[in-house]
Amino acid sequence: MERAKKPAAIPVSPIQPTPQVSISDDSSRVTASLPTGERVDILLYGATVISWKSANGKENLFLSSKASLDGSKAVRGGIPIVFPVFGPPKSDHATSRLPQHGFARISRWEYLGKSSSESSTLPNSKGDASVKLDFGLSDSMIDSSNWDYPFNLTYSVTLSQDSLETSLVVRNTGASNYGFQVLFHSYLVVDDITKTTISGLEEAAFVDKTQGAKEVEPAKKPISIGSETDRVYTLPSENTITVSEQGTQRYEITRDMLSDVVVWNPWVEKAKSMADFGPDEGYKQMVCVEAGSVSVWNTLDAGETWEGQQRIKVL
């Protein structure tokens, strides 16, 4: 029987889907996905992003089929973090006892938590637009026999519908200043390296590491890769880098406080010589475009912080 004075239904707003974040059973990795299908996987070892998929399931980061994911060595692929030294350290520098590319990529980081952007109120919204995952590393978590300077690193990975952002905050928690270098060693997937071009670096001089660190004048044209390539470009952070295939733009890289860009592809012989690079032909499906600050030392005074970030957008 209908009640005469039936109370009006309380209006409820539809439940918006939200990003999902999970930690693997063995606590070795964090996975986040958006309601729209994008997904990112991050190993706590090195806080290494090892996979970033678009909503259509397409992988954007190259991961070697022989990469070690068990914490025994730096991951060959994804986005390893280079800190506090790029390349092999010099014997007369504070980083001299560290391995190539420093300790960040071979240390186990702590997962600090997530934050999501506000849900959209648009009627056709598919839920939260992004999720940010934070990771931390400090001097008490590394082998202090190789590095004398207290620090606190906060690394944030933000997954959005069309982009992945990585940002690093470095805090000097010690009493004296020190210098560091930093780089996001992003391995981007391409379908065919011989049809890939990189633009945005045309006006930048570079150091060619395949020619004994020779300084080379700006090429004045987009980069094509047809042999081992290992170059450090220096150019204003405001300049956008675009990776295209057969004339179609595929990725756009924007940077903040990162005035160097390394372009690396090992090509045939070097790929074969690396025990953890696979398959042998894998060099055809990748190019590293690495945003960083590596041509100078960033000096951080006691108590000071520095922050740099990159955004890789899928076009």
Report the interface residues with ligand BG6, using CB under 6 A: 74, 100-101, 185, 209, 230, 262, 264, 290
- Specify the residue, 69 or 131, whose C-beta has the smaller distance to ligand BG6: 69
d(CA 213, CA 2): 86
Q: How many other C-beta atoms lie within 10 A of the C-beta of residue 303? A: 11
**Three-class SS of 239-287:** CCEEEEECCEEEEEEEEECCCEEEEEECHHHHHHHCCCCCCHHHHHHEE
290 carries an active-site annotation: yes
Q: Judge whether 259 and 201 are in contact, CB under 8 Å.
A: no
d(CA 191, CA 245): 8
- Specify the residue, 70 or 118, whose C-beta has the smaller distance to ligand BG6: 70
Q: Active-site residue among 93, 290, 304, 307?
A: 290
Shortest reach from residue 96's CB to ligand BG6, in Å:
17
185 carries an active-site annotation: yes
Shortest reach from residue 206's CB to ligand BG6, in Å:
11
**Three-class SS of 1-28:** CCCCCCCCCCCCCCCCCCCEEEECCCCC
Q: Which among 183, 204, 188 has a CA at the least distance from the CA of 251?
A: 188
Q: Which among 295, 298, 290 has a CA at the least distance from the CA of 205?
A: 295
Q: How many other C-beta atoms lie within 10 A of the C-beta of residue 272? A: 14
- Which tokens is 114 given? 């997530």
Buried b / exposed e over 180-196, threshold 16 CB at 10 Å, is: bbbbbbbbbbbeebeeb
- Specify the residue, 114 or 270, whose C-beta has the smaller distance to ligand BG6: 270
Shortest reach from residue 307's CB to ligand BG6, in Å:
21
Q: How many other C-beta atoms lie within 10 A of the C-beta of residue 89? A: 20
Shortest reach from residue 262's CB to ligand BG6, in Å:
5
- Specify the residue, 134 or 230, whose C-beta has the smaller distance to ligand BG6: 230
Q: Active-site residue among 185, 228, 245, 304?
A: 185
- Specify the residue, 132 or 185, whose C-beta has the smaller distance to ligand BG6: 185
State phi, psi for 106 to the nearest 5 degrees. Answer: -120, 20
d(CA 148, CA 60): 37
Residue 175 Cα to chain centre, angstroms: 30
- Specify the residue, 83 or 133, whose C-beta has the smaller distance to ligand BG6: 83
Residues noted as catalytic? 185, 290
